[in-house]
Amino acid sequence: MKQDPSAPATATSHAQGDLSHIPPRDKAELLSQALPYIRKYHGKTIVIKYGGNAMTDPALQQDFAEDVVLLKLVGLNPVVVHGGGPQIEDALNKLGKKGHFIQGMRVTDEETMSVVEWVLAGEVQQDIVGLINVAGGKAVGLTGRDGGMIRAKKLKMVDKDDPAKEHDVGQVGDIVAIDPSVVKALQDDQFIPVISPIGFGESNESYNINADVVAGKLAEVLKAEKLVLLTNTPGVLDKAGNLLTDLSAREIDELFADGTLSGGMLPKIASALDAARSGVKAVHIIDGRVPHAMLLEILSEQAYGTMIRSH
């Protein structure tokens, strides 16, 4: 079971990543502690959902890129799926287009969908690819269209109060199938795939899909060792606000039943739970506001979030 160091929930300065103040013996100890994890996960796939502060704070962006490159260099196979809600909102505001939401879901008409595509598959994706390449990796940007990866259909949104009623939220998609062959081909060739959560339908129409859902389904299809969801929360908290570092799928069900889990965490937890039940050995919901939290969560005993085990 991982130890919770009660990590601060705010991003510390980038300078704290400097190890010059640590004595050589302690540095060696840190590196040797990572060795069993490197050995255990060598050659294994890790799907990472990149979002929240980690994606908008420049110092945390750099930390994330360095972490992904390090994981690749020590023999793991990271696959990045990114979100981009705030960036889409900014772009729509600049165009004078007012966002319309139904039950928390953005109504995506044709014009909004074209903005979503150029923000996610253009600006956001290429920023991430650039950061990883500058950090010494070889990233390649993809959308669900590439290699026919994500086939989708129109999401049917049922009214929360009246199950007989459905809302039309436009070009918001539900995943029909994922073909991971293009991702596998890139992984085998030392590349790091960076995926925008856009799928395509039977008539070649585009669909905007929730990035947590894409990451979860991709982790299942790739038979990933781990699914890592970067968030703006410390992880899953109990009713008293304490971090729950280690949970089974059954314990998560109990937290749903007694009302501990609700609100914005629900879609994240649902994706995590589906992945854990479908063969992904562990799902980590971690605090992306803590520098290098992802690396520490995967390659050390420290817990920087909640790990959900498949059993």
What is the per-residue pLDDT across 279-288, written as a single tens digit (0 to 9) for each? 898 899 999 9
Of residues 20 and 189, more confidence is placed in: 189
Given a contact cutoff of 8 angstroms between Cβ atoms, the answer to whether 62 and 14 are in contact is yes
In this prediction, residue 11 carries a pLDDT of: 39
One-letter amino acid of 154:
K
Comparing 171-180, 182-191, 196-205, 299-308, the range with the smallest average pLDDT is 299-308
Closest residue by Cα to residue 242 from 260, 259, 221: 260
Helix (H) or strand (E) holding 258: none
Most confident region among 7-21, 154-168, 211-225 by mean pLDDT: 211-225
One-letter amino acid of 153:
K
Q: What is the 8-class DSSP label of residue 96?
A: T
| 210-234 pLDDT, tens digit each | 999 999 999 999 999 999 999 888 8
Quick one: pLDDT band at residue 46, thresholds 50, 70, 90?
Answer: very high
Q: What SS3 class is residue 218?
A: helix
In this prediction, residue 14 carries a pLDDT of: 41
In this prediction, residue 264 carries a pLDDT of: 63
- Burial (CB < 10 A; 0-12, 13-18, 19+), residue 203, is exposed
φ/ψ region of 45 (left if φ > 0, alpha if ψ in -120 to 50, else beta) reads beta
In the chain, what percentage of residues exceed pLDDT 90?
52
Quick one: pLDDT band at residue 257, thresholds 50, 70, 90?
Answer: confident
Average pLDDT of the residues in 150-155 = 96
Longest dimension (CA), the chain: 66
pTM metric for this prediction: 0.88
84 is in an annotated binding site: yes
Rg over alpha carbons for the chain, rounded to the nearest Å, is 19
Nearest-5° angle of CA 214, CA 219, CA 200? 30
Q: What SS3 class is residue 41?
A: helix
106 is in an annotated binding site: yes
Closest residue by Cα to residue 306 from 260, 256, 261, 244: 244
Tokens 């939290």 belong to 293
Phi, psi angle pair for 101, to nearest 5°: -120, 145
Asked if CATH classification 3.40.1160.10 holds for the domain at 41-309, the reply, yes or no, is yes
85 is in an annotated binding site: yes
In this prediction, residue 159 carries a pLDDT of: 85
Cα distances (Å, whole numbers) of residue 114 to 118, 120, 209:
6, 10, 14
Residues paired with 154 in a beta bridge: 173
In this prediction, residue 244 carries a pLDDT of: 87
Average pLDDT of the residues in 114-139 = 95
Q: Does residue 105 surpass a pLDDT of 60?
A: yes
What gap in Å lies between CA 177 and CA 26, rounded to an integer? 48
Q: Does residue 10 surpass a pLDDT of 70?
A: no
Q: Does residue 6 surpass a pLDDT of 50?
A: no
Of residues 256 and 165, more confidence is placed in: 165
Both tokens of 225, joined, read: 């060792």
Residues paired with 101 in a beta bridge: 106
264 is in an annotated binding site: no
Closest residue by Cα to residue 75 from 180, 195, 193, 187: 187
Quick one: pLDDT band at residue 16, thresholds 50, 70, 90?
Answer: very low
In this prediction, residue 7 carries a pLDDT of: 43
**Average model confidence (pLDDT) across the chain:** 87
Q: Does residue 4 surpass a pLDDT of 60?
A: no
Where are the chain's structural domains? 41-309
